[in-house]
Structure 1
Amino acid sequence: RGIDKLVELTIATKEQSNIHLTDLKTAMSDQTRMFRTLISALTSTMAKLEAKL
């Protein structure tokens, strides 16, 4: 009886951590995308500034 509860708890915990991992991966790829956008915006701004010089 106690073991069944423990197994249920372990499975629930594992599912929770899988969800957290997925969220983390999503957040990280969003960050990366944002960073790349920022870099390319900076790069094009620099290019425009250089063209004016």
Structure 2
Amino acid sequence: MNTKTIAIIGAGFCGSTLAVHLLRHPPVTALKILLISRPGSMARGVAYSTRARAHVLNV
């Protein structure tokens, strides 16, 4: 059986959500998912990783 590999660059909201979707609805063929991100930034995109108190809403 051939294993397909999908590399997702960036583990912000979109990358993390895509990985979850692929894991919940796997294709018929074997699948390997690589979620690539900087250390300590998993599921913390630019909009959610700010430390500025003025940033209270992501719009």
Which has the larger Rg? Answer: 1
- TM-score per shorter chain, which class? under 0.3
More strand by percentage: 2
TM-score normalized with structure 1 length: 0.25
TM-score normalized with structure 2 length: 0.24
Question: Which fold has the larger relative contact order, with Cα–Cα distance below 8 Å and residues 6 or more apart in sequence?
Answer: 2
